[in-house]
Structure 1
């Protein structure tokens, strides 16, 4: 049971935290706690630690896990190394290329250059569909990965580009030649990927507005979403995402929620129908075959002041609540979904951080709707009055619903670095960490283990199944 609790504690942290500043804690506290948990799990439960990569932990922690497993492999059995190698290789395919290249640089700084590491880096780099594109867009990381893994480049042009880029003229590969010409022709830079062209534009002193206007066709859907160069068109974003994402699973529902909350309230109100349709479309896509199967669902959604997050994670907790609202609407039976926002507002698109956190009162309202399932999305700081949520849940579980007819789960988007876990509402109700609303269904599965009603054998069986599906064995 202790091992099962430790694994779930780590999964909560590795799902919710990215080592960045939160509302009540700075980045240093977050990073220190994460580092401790990674080392603790790697030393004491290495097999389970590796398996957590199949549980949808966030990209930041997946990269940390890979770095730790490759850097600390002394006395690890060959069979375990083989399983780890497959998990690492599969996980690398799900990570964005910039994060992978940063990982390669970190391994180089750590002096991790064993045969397994070189093979993993070599296999990932040789599997790239368009190596010239990646070499242009991520030149320093691409070059570092090649050198560290001792990868032999058969393409002479690509080798010249990486190690003597302006000495070769002209290039037969279009993107390499475009990059070379951009040094001399200001109009050519608009044929390059957005992030590469941005550097050329800055050197030439091109005004930001002019650059963004002309580079639009080269921008990926995510880049357009970040820069707000076009109206939010979810259908267009969804159709365009496959071109750029490959096997990566982009959390479009949460991304769009973040983008919507960045809009002024007046604009949100004016575009309410468009934005609502967009969110519902993404929610239906995410729900898939589970749409309408969750019965009567009531959500308690936190839009209190602390849902602002932090300057580096601006409105992230609120965005998770907003995205989860639309996903739960899709998962619930038609007409059987009740959203209860902490502020009492009834228009989710006009949500903004403000006010106290009367979790206890809202839980009473939620249980009064006779639900089959209650989902609470909150950072767990119950302060109006303090402790009421825990008492409501205690009485409900011990006196009114000891048979657990109502399924209650608390998903928390904020990692509590001091407690080494997400802040819980009650020991009688599972609390799990969440990064993106898209993780909700998996987290509800994990909640059964967090309740302490099953032990390590059941958790091991569940992890084995997740690993097999993750590796494509099932």
Structure 2
């Protein structure tokens, strides 16, 4: 029993770490989210530190990965074997701005032990272009170098950061472009987009002319953000290669008329992204039925607009790719049949849609919802209980509830009932891995099996990190 409790505690934390970002949700404020997460991190670190550290190898989001790293580095006296390697491997996968933000928090907290300095030094040494980082993330780079007592990568970068008036010119093109951009408009087009924006405003450059000339220096996401702000349509080239959930968010941001006019292009892009996400699992799930929540609560919040609906849309196309050809049924709570035109509207009749989904006798049932079953309340849980206990006690149909919204009040994602395991999800492309974790959430396996699974994921992460270092 104690092992089952420990496994449940760790899985509860994994659900939170995958789903929650400390931001406002539809039914809870940012403060509630942050307080709930802070308690969970402290509780799991104190009671299950090795498993807490091993969660860095799972698909938890970067917000929680940074919190885990911070907690581990703040408490060096409790450190276990291999923690430093695991932290370094996870930091190598994170966006640089998040890592620099983490280093600043460590500096503010006075965390400067030997292990922390070694991790900062190793991460900085692995950066592909230190001069670019010095321009783009200047405050973060300076804080990290000072805190870890690490010299700059080269003399030029050091002078740029700490003695900018020492050199008349720089040999590195990015550093030289930054120096010249203070008085020469043409030089700003050799800078990263986020830095060049400020110089363009200083020189009074028109927005349209600036975006046209800086386009070659922009990343795909920067182009999408500026297109969204300007109301410009995304081109097929912009959509190609995008991750599934981000693509779904971009599609949902388009007006209905544009979605309908570009139906073939958008559907093709979503299916291509889903096939990439499915990978070796494509076509191997047999007959799949999905219940997808497009009720009003799927609109998310002001800071996470339409995120739950985008996850449901991404899961729809991913499950279509995972199912055997022609063996997928997707049912939206609104009753709509056109996934490209979904919108957050109406109540959440999950129970009725689950009945419709089970009527076809699928091999797998996947429910994508925030769990607020309200038409009528509680019907979904009762349907699943009766179905599991009376109609399918042999578990011919594998069922899982994936929830894209963290419920701060219960320190977990909201569940429909004990009959079906619930796991948190942030990105639709993580669905195959999360379904594997759901097997532990059913309560039929204990801590030993969960520990073995985490050990495999840790070994995979460390091997990938080592391969990247030697490549």
Judge conservation of contact 1:234–1:282 (CA < 8 Å) in 2. Answer: no
Distance of 2:44 and 2:201 partners within structure 1: 45
Which residue does 2:313 correspond to in 1?
Answer: 322
Tell me the alpha carbon deviations over residues 180-237 of structure 1, each in whole angstroms, 9 at most, x when there is no partner.
Answer: 1111111221221111111212333333333223221111011112222775356566
Name which of 231, 237, 252 aligns with 2:243.
252
Pairing 1:184-223 to 2, within 5 Å after superposition: 184-223=183-222
Which residue does 1:50 correspond to in 2?
Answer: 53
Pairing 1:40-439 to 2, within 5 Å after superposition: 40-76=43-79, 80=80, 82-153=81-152, 155-228=154-227, 231-233=233-235, 252-439=243-430
Offset at 1:289?
Answer: 1.4
Tell me the alpha carbon deviations over residues 268-291 of structure 1, each in whole angstroms, 9 at most, x when there is no partner.
Answer: 111111010001111111111111
Name which of 454, 457, 463 aligns with 2:448.
457
Distance of 2:334 and 2:353 partners within structure 1: 10
Offset at 1:380?
Answer: 0.2
Alpha-carbon spacing, 1:234–1:131, altered in 2? closer, same or farther (3 Å): farther
Judge conservation of contact 1:135–1:142 (CA < 8 Å) in 2. Answer: yes
Judge conservation of contact 2:239–2:247 (CA < 8 Å) in 1. Answer: no
Distance of 1:276 and 1:472 partners within structure 2: 36
Distance of 1:54 and 1:326 partners within structure 2: 26
Pairing 1:17–2:20 present: yes
Judge conservation of contact 2:125–2:153 (CA < 8 Å) in 1. Answer: no
Partner secondary structure for residue 361 of structure 2: coil
Distance of 2:153 and 2:219 partners within structure 1: 29
Judge conservation of contact 2:224–2:238 (CA < 8 Å) in 1. Answer: no
Distance of 1:125 and 1:92 partners within structure 2: 11
Which residue does 1:244 correspond to in 2?
Answer: none
Partner secondary structure for residue 472 of structure 1: helix
Partner secondary structure for residue 310 of structure 1: coil
Alpha-carbon spacing, 1:393–1:75, altered in 2? closer, same or farther (3 Å): closer
Alpha-carbon spacing, 1:55–1:234, altered in 2? closer, same or farther (3 Å): farther
Distance of 1:161 and 1:195 partners within structure 2: 18
How many residues align? The count is 459
Q: Is 226-235 or 196-205 further displaced after alignment?
A: 226-235
Offset at 1:108?
Answer: 0.4
Offset at 1:164?
Answer: 2.4
Partner secondary structure for residue 345 of structure 1: coil
Which residue does 1:32 correspond to in 2?
Answer: 35
Judge conservation of contact 2:151–2:158 (CA < 8 Å) in 1. Answer: no
Judge conservation of contact 1:374–1:407 (CA < 8 Å) in 2. Answer: yes
Distance of 1:260 and 1:85 partners within structure 2: 40
Offset at 1:467?
Answer: 0.8
Offset at 1:18?
Answer: 0.1
- Name structure 2 gaps, 5 residues minimum: none
Distance of 1:46 and 1:233 partners within structure 2: 47
Distance of 1:298 and 1:204 partners within structure 2: 57
The Cα RMSD (Å) is 1.5
Tell me the alpha carbon deviations over residues 244-276 of structure 1, each in whole angstroms, 9 at most, x when there is no partner.
Answer: xxxxxxx71111111111111111111111010
Q: Is 207-216 or 305-314 further displaced after alignment?
A: 207-216
- Name structure 1 gaps, 5 residues minimum: 240-250
